[in-house]
Each structure stands twice: as C-alpha cells, then as structure tokens.
Amino acid sequence: MSHQDWNLTNKKIILGITGSISAYKAAILLRLLTKSGAEVQVIMTEAAKDFIGPITLSTLSNKPVLHSLTHDQQWSQHVQLGLWADLLVVAPASAHTMAKFANGLADNLLCAVYLSARCPVMIAPAMDVDMWNHPATQNNIRKLMEIGHTIIPVEEGPLASGLEGKGRLAEPETIFSAIGEFFQSASLLSKKKVLITAGPTFEPIDPVRFIGNHSSGKMGIRLAEAALMMGAEVQIVVGPVSEPIQKHPRLFIHRVTTASEMFEKVKSLDSEIDIYILAAAVADFKPEHSEKEKIKKEGKSNPTLNLVPTPDIAKHLGESKKNGQFLCGFALETEHILDNAKSKLHKKNMDMIVINSPKDDQSAFGFDTNKISILENSGKFVSFGLQTKREAAMVILKAIISSLRT
C-alpha cells in the first residue's frame, strides 16, 4: 500500500518532537498525518523549539502546540492527553529523551505524557553516529523495545555533523507508513478468540522435585501481546514462568503447573476459540507416582523413576478441531528438523507449525530473540533470520491471518 492510501480518520495521535536538526521532517510527517484524516496534538520539548517553529506546527495541526507542564498559569493535562491518544509517536527522538523514557524521568510535558500514556508508543530516533553506537543509547533502546515500544530504525548516511553513519531520522514517509500499518494491524484480529499455551510444565516427583525444561514462556507471552495489539481476545494458559505478563482488559491469564492441568484448562476454554497457538514446551512424560513425602537418599543406591506419557494437548485439539478453527503448533527440534516438523504437523492435524532450533545462536529457550521457520499444511515453507520474539510473534500472527484468508 502506498503512503497516500492510509486512512487515519478518527485516529488520535500525539506527535512528540525533540531537539534535532531533523525536526524539520516532523513538519512533513505532521502534514501526511493530518492529510490522511488523523487528529494530531503536537508536544515539543524546549530544545525542539530551537530547530522548528511552533507556529508552523500549530498551523499544520490546527491546534496549539503544547510544550510546558503548565500553560497560561494552568496545569497542562498530561494525564488526559495520555488517555486521549490512540498512539504516541516521537519523531525525532533524541538520545536524551530516550534515556529519560527508559528511566522514567518526567521533567517536561512530553516525558510526563509518555509516562501517563496507555496507548502504544512509536519512537523514531535521530542522533549522531557515535551517540547512536554508544552502549548507553543502545541499552536504552533495548529497554524501550522490551517495554513493547516500536523503534523505527534509523537510516544510514550523511549526518548533520558532517560524519557518515547510522543515526539519521527515518524519512517522514517511512514513519507515516509504520503508523498506517500499525493502525491497520490493530483490527486484523478483532472479534477473534485466540488461545495460547506458553512456558514449561513441571511434573512433580515429590513435594520438592519435578521434571521440567528451560522454556521461559517469552515466545508465548510475546504472541499474546501481539494478538492483543491486533484486537483479539486472548486466553493464555501458562506454565510456571518468571516472565511478567502485563494485564490487559482482553487478556485472560490461566496459570497451571503440570501438563494435565494445562490440558484440562485448555479443554475447558475450548468451545469458542478461533485460533490455537501452542507455544508451551509441554513435558511428554511424568513420573507415574508423585511421592507425598520428600524421597530420601538413604538406603537407595540406584533409584529408578517410572514415567508415563502426559496428555498431548496439540493432538487432542487436532482431532477435535471444528470447522474454521486454526491450530498452530511449535516444533523444537535438534535433528532432521524439517522432516520431524512435517510429520508432527500431519500427525497432530495442525494447520501450521513454527520451527525453531535450540542449536541456533540466540534462538529459542530463554532468549529474547528467535530464528524461526513456518511450515503450513499447504506445504508453504518460509524461513526468517534472527529477530526479536516480538517481531517473530507479529510474523507468526500475520502468517496465520493470511492463511485464514486463503
């Protein structure tokens, strides 16, 4: 879709502008936003005013530009502004403002609005190459991404300092397209009910010991967040994880410990689910008996543990799949990856399987990044490079949506 095609009628956007030579591009972005129907409230930092005039921006947005925590001897309503917006975009975002965001400082109106905002946040950084490469800046960017904000990548090229490299503000058309895509994806799964399993299961041996695995639940939790962003109602059935799960009015969190508990919970939510995404690393076996008291080592030289299979949730859902329901599983393989994934997809009657390998660097268990491939039951197979689990979640959901449409 070309950038002229985005229709942003009724969308409320706060455009934050900070001090940077590239602030002039914010005027072009503002023009694109208002032309496409968005209502835009501009908030500038004091430094931004040295680079672009508030009169230009208030004329283009048809609203007074805000810049101070107090206004005409009145307190500026940063809390209301934070609640009013559907999206907060900061372009250009200086290294200094990003550092304040990442650390929760609120010494100006833009930072106070940022901390009060409940809407998604998009940040388009702009700075000199060495500031960009500095570990402090990179750490702040990582933090902002972990919070869930979208960072619009900087561009590489000549910089205001005369140096060359990374740090240029993305072009206004690029930022505008990212905003258009954001609003388009916000309704992609509206009215859809999504159930996600996440994390490991722990199968008790005795009151203090269990059989478990290294799953952190991060992939499933990122999938839940992405599905919520796309407008879905989400049930997440999650094993024992330490990864925090942010509350959301359309998110229902069910915490379980064992494979059997996960199975029972999934079955109890079964009736109206449109899309299942089974990202949990469910134990395949559990001890036949879980001892009531802690097993003592005294008197046992070679104790054995008798194991029995756990219920296969994916297989059950595949067998009982109703018309229109979509089943996406995960495969974590260490050998014969594609063949094993293919046979799992067919055996469990899945519509799609996401393959990841713990042998890839920075991929799968515990990491914030993942390297995935997607195999559909039509035979379509696509591999992706290393990406954040947040990006991978978007890719997986978009693949599900396009498969549902064909």
Q: How far is the CB of 56 from ligand C5P (least distance, A)?
A: 53
CB under 6 A: which stretch of 144-152, 183-191, 248-256, 305-313 binds ligand C5P?
Answer: 305-313
How many helices and strands (H and E) does the chain possess?
A: 13, 23
Degrees to nearest 5, angle at CA 67 with 181 and 76? 100
Q: Tell me the CA distances in angstroms from 391 to 149, 204, 225, 330, 387, one per residue in order.
A: 12, 35, 11, 16, 6
Concerning whether 213 is annotated as a catalytic residue, the answer is yes
Q: Binding mask 104-143 vs ligand C5P (x if CB under 6 A, - otherwise)?
A: ----------------------------------------
Q: Interface with ligand C5P includes 310 (CB under 6 A)?
A: yes
Neighbours of 391 (CB within 10 A): 17
Looking at the Cβ atoms of 148 and 311, the one nearer to ligand C5P is 311
Smallest gap from residue 297 Cβ to ligand C5P (A): 30
Establish if 331 lies at the interface with ligand C5P (CB under 6 A). Answer: yes
Q: How far apart are CA 132 and CA 141, in angstroms?
A: 10
Distance linking the first and last C-alpha atoms of the chain? 20
Selected binder of ligand C5P within 171, 312, 368, 391 (CB under 6 A)? 312
Catalytic hit among 213, 340, 349, 377: 213
Phi and psi at 172, nearest 5°, equal -55, -35
User: What is d(CA 328, CA 398) in angstroms, rounded to the nearest whole number?
Assistant: 12
Q: Give the interface segment with ligand C5P, choosing from 38-46, 54-62, 289-297, 312-320 (CB under 6 A).
A: 312-320
Residue 148 exposed, middle or buried by CB count within 10 Å (0-12, 13-18, 19+): middle
| Tokens 């990006």 -> residue | 391
d(CA 101, CA 127): 16
In the window 185-214, what residues touch ligand C5P (CB under 6 A)? 197
Nearer to ligand C5P, 159 or 281 (CB): 281
Sheet harboring 372-376: ordered strands across?
A: 251-255, 233-238, 193-198, 275-278, 326-332, 352-356, 372-376, 381-383
CB closer to ligand C5P out of 42 and 280: 280
Output Rg (C-alpha) for the chain, integer angstroms: 25
Work out which of 124, 175, 313, 400 binds ligand C5P, going by CB under 6 A: 313
Distance CA 259, CA 316 (A): 13
Among the listed ranges 78-86, 108-116, 277-285, 371-379, the one in contact with ligand C5P (CB under 6 A) is: 277-285
d(CA 170, CA 162): 18
Sole binder of ligand C5P in the list 314, 372, 374, 396 (CB under 6 A): 314
- Minimum Å gap between C-beta 330 and ligand C5P is 4
Query: DSSP assignment, residue 135?
Result: H
Instruction: State which residue, 264 or 284, has the beta carbon closest to ligand C5P.
Output: 284
Neighbours of 278 (CB within 10 A): 26
Nearer to ligand C5P, 152 or 393 (CB): 393
Q: Which is nearer to ligand C5P, 159 or 395 (CB)?
A: 395
Shortest distance (Å) from residue 309 CB to ligand C5P: 8
- Measured N-to-C along each axis, helices 24-35 and 172-185 cross at an angle, to the nearest 10 degrees, of 40
CB of 315 to ligand C5P, least distance (A): 7
Q: Does 223 bind ligand C5P (CB under 6 A)?
A: no
Which stretch, 183-191, 211-219, 231-239, 278-286, contacts ligand C5P (CB under 6 A)?
278-286
Which 8-state DSSP code applies to residue 170?
P
User: Binding to ligand C5P (CB under 6 A): which residues in 84-103?
Assistant: none
Task: Scan residues 341-370 and list those touching ligand C5P (CB under 6 A).
Answer: 344
Give min distance, CB of 271 to ligand C5P, in A.
18
Report if residue 280 touches ligand C5P, rule: CB under 6 A. Answer: yes
| Between 78 and 265, CB nearer to ligand C5P | 265
Element (H, E) at 225: helix 218-229
Report, as residue numbers or ranges, the catalytic residues: 213
Interaction site with ligand C5P (CB under 6 A): 197, 259, 278, 280, 282, 284, 310-314, 329-331, 344
